[in-house]
């Protein structure tokens, strides 16, 4: 197969400038460098940047790119943490930010149609204005886009009750290499005709095609919600608290855990509401009707009466947002503990969470790095951050060793390397720890069927 | 404010950066600038190109408020502008240093400029007219409930009111008198320093801060009344070094700073027949969290006030007026399109920042009047 070009020719640039006139394309050094990095902090410089406004432009682009074998890197707000949008083989970055219209919100079909550049929080606001609900809520929801969320199958805190992005994508329009436009699924909530290409595209991280439109399922907006932040002396108290809540028959909207190192990072970040001596936190949300939320809150309080707690704060309406802000700033606050971070988002079966966290802490102690565990206790998806200082001799190596041991332990417990962030660049070397040869062969075959010349997001592992 | 750490590329600044919102250009975001700063010249931009790109910042400060790592785009830019200096900074320095002479002269000359002049001259003409424009017909009267006994006070007018919109200062002085304040003879205050800071003219900023502190001390440390959100922010930011380390003096200074609107929250309001069909409030980027200007406009306008958007920047950007006027205008138009989206013709846009007034008045379509809330007071 022909190699990827080492630069864009004059004719290549002319083609792109014609297809993407004015400020729809850029070859300016600053713009190119800026669109070559994401929240993984990995970076590479593409040869060109284009900002399509129409699907037809993307079809033309992918026809040309396949013919010329130019790598194509879809991009939106670049909040992913695994290098998913870093243009490691250069080529052309396609920013989807200008395709950002909400095309339809239909309260009778319980469906919305959107372009990929719509910001998730904006979509949520728009549907909520009509009494509807789009539940997936990744921590980046005020910044990240629906297109990015679909490409990564973004999860979020409400996944315990409502599932992840995949569960809300009914249909997609996408352009595949060669320029053909495909439409998968549709507006119906049930559809079993053919293989499920919609689910295949969700989470494929731009390696199969470029999503240009999505049909999403909506739910009725719950009447109200309330949140509770509960402090415990230690992690085991925290996990006992979680068990008590589940055993009283309530499925919370969200159930987040924070371990003692997370608590320390937050305490160094700003003024915190909990009392000293708190070594584990649970943050719960419940939703439903006014009556059911009040009843559930009472039942949760009763269930927790048997467990020793250090602190409890409840919030309803807008008030609860300040509790959730604590959860959203953990990622950056972790840098209060050490300057460098290696963040993993492993998931284990729900019943194995306690064991997994204890083991992760033990790995940190053995290797002299700080292991901080927080995240979605409710669905077993634990964010494990290894905090270290690469300027100290041996820490870099130990952090990498910790990563491998954490992965191995997770798999031993029946878990997965990634619950929501994906594999991308930063975990590419570990995929064979989880997937077998046959599975990988099947996946590579699917990739080749969609993208025989490997132009879509090359250099990445999904 | 806690010490800045390092940008982790989380993208929270994208949520609020007005340049990014208006243009969609990632390279203009604080995230991109902090990333480019970390690259060595062999991988990244050369020093000149980096400084010129990084300088494209409106210094609104929204990114700094939203950043979990305490990184500040305006601080980065101010430092870069300070290190690089250059023609644009020099022009801005002269513009701020001689307002009494230059501003009226520029306004007079702008009347001879044909409309079709290329940018930046075209919009500069309109801007100069906006700087000296008169306000709308007043339609509200305030009867303050607060009354002071023997309270010495001084009005910090700010450059716009001192050299162009004198009627703001006259009205503010009248309100202060009606509250029984004993107004000191007008000290020879300089610019608050805010505009110098964002332009990287840090030596000049230090100079004016010293002068303002000493004027205030000579006047007997009176209550310092302001009616411009940017001046208030500028005055609040005086560092301990500006007070030669005297923290008690600095505390007294901070305590003395009083937005005029905060003294009017219990005032009685009488509206005349000339009130507009609707009122929009533009919240300045530099307004404090608890924005007493907004509370006052809510009190005056009541039902006339449309829901307030807190996420819009007018795009004025100080030295950006000279360095990148097109970009400033693009952000301004983005802001006005949203402010006036559902606004009836003849409605008024009120704000509490001098720079926002000038920018919005320059760019607003003829059917809307953009002004300071002082303009609508009889």
DSSP B9-25: ---GGGGT-HHHHHH--
What was the pLDDT predicted at B373? 97
Torsion angle, CA of B284/B287/B290/B295, rounded to 10 degrees?
-50
- Region A227-252: mean pLDDT is 91
The verdict on a CB contact (< 8 Å) between A332 and B68 is: yes
Instruction: Please determine, for residue B85, whether its predicted confidence score (pLDDT) is greater than 80.
Output: no
Cβ of B10 within 8 Å of Cβ of A332? The answer is: yes
* Torsion sign (Cα): A336, A338, A340, A344: negative
CA distance B261 to B228: 10
- Is the bond preceding B120 in cis, omega lying within 30 degrees of 0? yes
Q: Do B27 and A51 touch (CB under 8 A)?
A: no
Predicted confidence (pLDDT) at residue A185 exceeds the cutoff of 70: yes
Q: What is the mean pLDDT of chain A?
A: 95
Write down the pLDDT at residue A152: 96
Instruction: Report how many helices (DSSP H) and strands (DSSP E) chain A contains, helices first.
Output: 16, 18
Please tell me which residue of chain B has the smallest CA distance to A26.
B25
CA A370, distance to chain mean position in Å, is 23
Among candidates A51, A140, A335 on the partner chain, residue whose Cβ is nearest the Cβ of B8: A335
- Measured between CA atoms, the residue of chain B closest to residue A117 is B24
Mean pLDDT of A253-259: 94
Confidence of residue B135 (pLDDT cuts 50, 70, 90): low
Whether A192 shows a pLDDT value over 60: the answer reads yes
A382 three-class SS = strand
CA dist., res. B377 & res. B260, Å (int): 13
The predicted structure's pLDDT at residue B164: 84
Most confident of A319-333, B93-107, B129-143, B225-239: B225-239
Per-residue confidence (pLDDT) for residue B117, from 0 to 100? 46
To the nearest whole Å, the CA of A60 is away from the closest chain B CA by 23
Whether residues B69 and A332 touch (CB distance < 8 A) is answered with yes
Instruction: Give the pLDDT band of residue B335 (cuts 50, 70, 90).
Output: very high
Which tens digits make up the pLDDT trace of A262-295?
A: 999 999 988 899 988 999 999 999 999 999 999 9
Spatial distance between the Cα atoms of B88 and B52, rounded to a whole number of angstroms = 11
Question: What are the pLDDT digits (tens) for B33-56?
Answer: 999 999 988 889 988 888 888 888
Alpha-carbon B209 to chain mean position: 17
Evaluate if residue B110 carries a pLDDT over 70. no
- Residue A319 makes CB contacts below 8 A (sequence gap 6+) with none
Q: Which residues contact B116 (CB under 8 A, 6 or more apart)?
A: B122
List chain B residues with CB under 8 Å of A334: none
Tokens at residue B151, please? 């309270």
SS3 track for B181-248: CEECCCCCCCCCCHHHHHCCCHHHHHHHHHHHHHHHHHCCCCEEEECCHHHHHHHHCCCHHHHCCCHH
Cβ A78 vs Cβ A206: under 8 Å: no
Contact between chains at A269 and B44 (C-beta distance less than 8 A): no
Q: Which residues contact A399 (CB under 8 A, 6 or more apart)?
A: A340, A342, A367, A369, A386, A388, A390
Which chain A residues have a beta carbon less than 8 Å from that of B11? Answer: 39, 77-79, 140, 143-144
Unique residue bearing structure tokens 């802001």: B335
Looking at this predicted complex, what is its ipTM?
Answer: 0.90
Contact A39 B39 (CB under 8 A): no
Average pLDDT rounded to a whole number, residues B354-373: 91
Task: Tell me how close the Cα of A38 comes to any Cα of chain B, in angstroms.
Answer: 7
Distance CA A326, CA A229 (A): 10
Judged by DSSP in three states, B175 sits in helix
Q: What's the rounded Cα separation, in Å, for the pair A197 and A450? A: 11
Question: pTM of the full predicted structure?
Answer: 0.88
What is the helix (H) or strand (E) element at residue B152, kind and residue range?
strand B152-156
Whole-number Cα distances in Å, A353 to A378, A384, B38 = 9, 12, 38
Give the sign of the dihedral formed by CA B15, CA B20, CA B25, CA B26: negative
Option in B8, B32, B36 nearest A332 (CB): B8
Could you tell me which of A459, A447, A460, A425 has the C-alpha nearest to residue A176? Answer: A447
Percent of chain A with pLDDT over 90: 85
Average pLDDT over residues B260-266: 96
Interface of B with A (CB under 8 A): 5-6, 8-12, 14-15, 24-27, 29, 32, 35-36, 39, 43-45, 49-50, 53, 68-69
Mean pLDDT across A84-101: 97
> Across residues B226-232, what is the average pLDDT?
96
Token duo for residue A284:
């719960």
- Calpha distance B260→B275 (Å, rounded): 22
């Amino acid at each position: 197969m022909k190699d990827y070009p080492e630069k864009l020719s004059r004719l290549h640039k002319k083609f792109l400038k014609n297809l993407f006139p004015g400020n729809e394309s850029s070859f300016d050094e600053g713009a190119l460098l800026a669109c070559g990095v994401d929240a993984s902090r990995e970076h590479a410089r593409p040869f060109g940047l284009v900002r399509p406004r129409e699907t037809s432009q993307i079809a033309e682009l992918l026809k040309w790119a396949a013919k010329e074998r130019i790598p194509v890197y879809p991009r939106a707000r670049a909040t992913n943490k695994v290098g998913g949008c870093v243009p490691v083989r250069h080529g052309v970055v396609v920013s989807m930010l200008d395709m950002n219209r909400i095309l339809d919100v239909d309260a009778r079909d319980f469906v919305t149609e959107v372009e990929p550049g719509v910001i998730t929080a904006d979509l949520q606001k728009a549907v909520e204005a009509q009494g509807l609900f789009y539940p997936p809520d990744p921590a980046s929801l005020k910044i990240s886009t629906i297109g990015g969320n679909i490409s990564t199958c973004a999860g979020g805190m409400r996944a315990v009750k409502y599932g992840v992005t995949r569960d809300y994508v009914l249909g997609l329009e996408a352009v595949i290499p060669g320029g053909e436009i495909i439409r998968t699924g549709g507006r119906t909530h049930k559809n079993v005709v053919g293989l499920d290409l919609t689910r295949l595209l969700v989470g494929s991280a731009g390696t199969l095609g470029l999503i240009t439109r999505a049909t999403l399922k909506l739910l009725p907006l719950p009447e109200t919600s309330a949140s509770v932040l509960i402090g415990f002396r230690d992690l085991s108290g925290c996990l006992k608290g979680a068990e008590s809540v589940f055993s009283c028959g309530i499925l919370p909207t969200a159930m987040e855990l924070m371990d003692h190192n997370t608590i320390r990072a937050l305490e160094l970040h700003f003024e915190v509401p909990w009392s000293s001596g708190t070594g584990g936190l649970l943050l719960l949300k419940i939703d439903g009707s006014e009556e059911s939320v009040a009843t559930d809150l009472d039942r949760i309080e009763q269930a927790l009466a048997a467990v020793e707690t250090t602190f409890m704060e409840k919030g309803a309406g807008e008030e609860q947002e300040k509790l959730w802000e604590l959860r959203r700033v953990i990622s950056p606050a972790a840098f209060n503990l050490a300057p460098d971070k290696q963040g993993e988002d492993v998931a284990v079966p729900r019943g194995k969470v306690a064991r997994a966290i204890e083991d992760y802490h033990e790995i940190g102690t053995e290797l002299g790095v700080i292991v901080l565990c927080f995240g979605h206790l409710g669905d077993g998806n634990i964010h494990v951050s290894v905090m270290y200082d690469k300027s100290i001799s041996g820490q870099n190596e130990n952090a990498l060793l910790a990563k491998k041991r954490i992965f191995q332990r997770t798999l031993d417990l029946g878990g997965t390397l990634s619950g929501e962030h994906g594999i991308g660049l930063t975990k590419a070397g570990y995929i064979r720890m989880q997937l077998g040869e046959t599975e990988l062969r099947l996946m590579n075959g699917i990739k080749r069927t969609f993208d025989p010349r490997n132009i879509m997001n090359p250099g990445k592992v999904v | 404010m806690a010490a800045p750490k390092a940008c982790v590329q989380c993208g929270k600044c994208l949520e609020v950066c007005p340049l990014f919102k208006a243009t969609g250009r990632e390279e203009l975001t604080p995230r991109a600038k902090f990333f480019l700063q970390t690259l060595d010249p062999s991988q990244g931009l050369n020093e000149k190109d980096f400084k010129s790109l990084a300088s494209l910042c409106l210094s609104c400060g929204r990114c700094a408020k939203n950043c979990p790592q305490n990184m500040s785009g305006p601080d980065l830019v101010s430092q870069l502008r300070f290190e690089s200096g250059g023609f644009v900074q020099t022009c801005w320095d002269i513009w701020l240093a001689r307002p009494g002479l230059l501003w009226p002269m520029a306004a007079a000359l702008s009347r001879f400029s044909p409309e079709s002049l290329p940018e930046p001259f075209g919009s500069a003409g309109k801007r100069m007219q906006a700087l000296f424009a008169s306000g709308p017909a007043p339609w509200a009267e305030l009867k303050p409930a607060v009354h002071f006994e023997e309270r010495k006070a001084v009005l910090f007018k700010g450059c716009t009111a001192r050299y162009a919109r004198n009627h703001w200062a006259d009205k503010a002085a009248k309100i202060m008198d009606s509250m029984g304040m004993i107004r000191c003879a007008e000290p020879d205050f300089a610019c608050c320093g805010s505009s110098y800071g964002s332009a990287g003219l840090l030596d000049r900023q230090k100079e004016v801060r010293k002068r303002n502190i000493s004027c205030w001390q000579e006047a007997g440390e009176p209550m310092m009344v302001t009616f411009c959100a940017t001046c208030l922010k500028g005055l609040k930011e005086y560092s301990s070094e500006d007070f030669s380390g005297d923290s008690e003096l600095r505390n007294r200074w901070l305590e003395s700073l009083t937005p005029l609107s905060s003294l009017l929250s219990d005032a009685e309001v009488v509206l005349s027949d000339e009130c507009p069909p609707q009122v929009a409030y533009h919240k300045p980027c530099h307004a404090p969290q608890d924005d007493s200007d907004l509370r006052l406009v809510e009190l005056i306008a009541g039902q006339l006030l449309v829901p307030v958007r807190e996420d819009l920047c007018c795009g004025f950007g100080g030295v950006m007026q000279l360095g990148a006027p097109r970009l400033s205008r693009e952000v301004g138009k983005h802001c006005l399109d949203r402010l006036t989206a559902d606004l009836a013709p003849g409605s008024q846009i009120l704000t509490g920042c001098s720079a926002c007034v000038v920018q919005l008045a320059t760019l607003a379509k003829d059917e809307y009047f953009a002004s300071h809330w002082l303009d609508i007071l009889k």
